[in-house]
Structure 1
Amino acid sequence: MINNTPLHHIKELAEYIALQYEEKITPVNRIANHEELELFYDAYDKGTFDGMTVYTDNRFYIHLNTDNGNREDTERGRFTLAHELGHYFIDAHRIGLKKGILEPHPSIINRKQFNSIEREADYFASCLLMPESRFKQDVFKKKFSFQLIDNLCTQYKVSRTACAFRFAQIGNHPIMIVYAECGIVKWKLESDDFPYKWLLNDKNVPANTVMGEYFTQSNTRDIYKTEQVWAMDWFNYVKDRDTGRAFYEHCIPYKDKALSIIWED
Structure 2
Amino acid sequence: MRRNRNSIKKLAEAIALEYEEKITPLDKIVGDEGLSVFYDSYGRDTFDGMTIYENGQFYIHINTDLGNKKDSPRGRFTLAHELGHYYIDSHRLGLKKGLLEPHPSRTNRKQFNQIEREADFFASCLLMPEARFTKDFHRKSFDITVIDFLKEEYNVSRTACAFRFADIGNHSIMIIYAEGGKLKWYHCSEHFPYQYLLYDKVVAPNTVMGEFFKGISDDIFKTEEIWAVDMFKYVKDDDINSKFFEHCITYRDKALSIIWGD
Q: 1:260 to 1:4 in 2, by over 3 A?
A: closer
Contact kept in structure 1, 2:15 and 2:126, CA below 8 Å: yes
SS across alignment from 1:213: helix
Residue 231 of structure 1 is matched in structure 2 by 228
Among candidates 55, 61, 69, match of residue 67 of structure 2: 69
Report the residue type matching 1:116 in the other structure.
Q
Shift of 1:105: 3.0
Question: What TM-score do you get using the length of structure 1 for normalisation?
Answer: 0.93
Identical-pair percentage: 63
Conservation of the 8 A alpha-carbon contact between 2:227 and 2:241:
yes
Distance 1:4 1:237 in 2: 27
Distance 1:173 1:244 in 2: 21
Partner of residue 210, structure 2: 212
Give the aligned partner of residue 121 of structure 1.
119
2:156 aligned with 1:166, yes or no?
no
SS of the residue aligned with 2:221? Answer: coil
Please give the residue correspondences for 1:109-188 in structure 2 after superposition, counting only pairs within 5 Å: 115-188=113-186
Q: Which moved more, 1:114-123 or 1:127-136?
A: 114-123
Q: Against the structure 1 CA distance between its residues 59 and 5, is the aligned structure 2 distance closer, same or farther, given a 3 Å change threshold? A: farther
What secondary structure sits across from 1:151 in the alignment?
A: helix
Within the candidate set 13, 16, 20, 1:15 is matched to 13
1:141 to partner: Cα distance: 4.0
Instruction: Name the CA distance, whole Å, in 1 between partners of 2:171 and 2:76.
Output: 26
Mapped contact 2:178–2:184 kept (Cα < 8 A): yes
CA distance in 2, matches of 1:179, 1:212: 12
Q: 1:256 aligns with which of 250, 253, 259?
A: 253
Q: Residue 192 of structure 2: SS of its match in structure 1?
A: coil
Preserved contact between residue 175 and residue 190 of structure 1 (Cα < 8 Å): yes
Gaps of at least 5 residues in structure 1 are 107-113
**Count of residue pairs brought into register by the alignment:** 255
- TM-superposed deviation, 1:100: 1.0
TM-score of the two chains, using structure 2 as the length reference: 0.94
* 1:246 counterpart = 2:211: no
> Which residue of structure 2 aligns with residue 82 of structure 1?
80
Q: Is the 8 A contact 1:97 1:103 kept in 2?
A: yes
1:35 aligned partner: 33
Measured after TM superposition, the shift of residue 54 of structure 1 is 0.8
Aligned CA RMSD, in angstroms, stands at 1.6
Which is worse superposed, 148-157 or 94-103? Answer: 94-103
Is 2:43 aligned against 1:45? yes
Report matched runs for 1:190-209 at 5 Å.
Answer: 190-209=188-207
Q: In 2, distance between residues paired with 1:105 and 1:123?
A: 17
Shift of 1:13: 0.2
- Superimposed CA distance per residue, residues 57-76 of structure 1 (whole angstroms, 9 cap, x where no aligned partner): 11111110001111100000
Question: By how many angstroms is 1:217 displaced?
Answer: 2.0
- 1:149-189 CA-to-partner distances (Å, cap 9, x unmatched) read 00000000000000000000000100000001111111000
Distance 1:5 1:241 in 2: 38
CA contact (8 A) 1:219 1:255 kept: no
For residue 69 of structure 2, what is the amino acid of its counterpart?
A: R
**Aligned with 1:225: secondary structure?**
strand
CA contact (8 A) 1:182 1:256 kept: yes
**For 2:187 and 2:71, how far apart are their aligned partners in 1?**
27
- Please give the secondary structure, in 1, of the residue aligned with 2:201: coil
For the residues of structure 1 that align with 2:97 and 2:195, how far apart are their CA atoms? 41
Tell me which stretches of 4 or more aligned residues in structure 1 moved more than 4 Å: none
Q: Could you tell me how far 1:47 is from its partner in structure 2?
A: 1.8
Any conservation in 2 of the 1:5–1:120 contact (CA below 8 Å)? no
**Counterparts of 1:188 and 1:66 in 2: how far apart (Å)?**
27
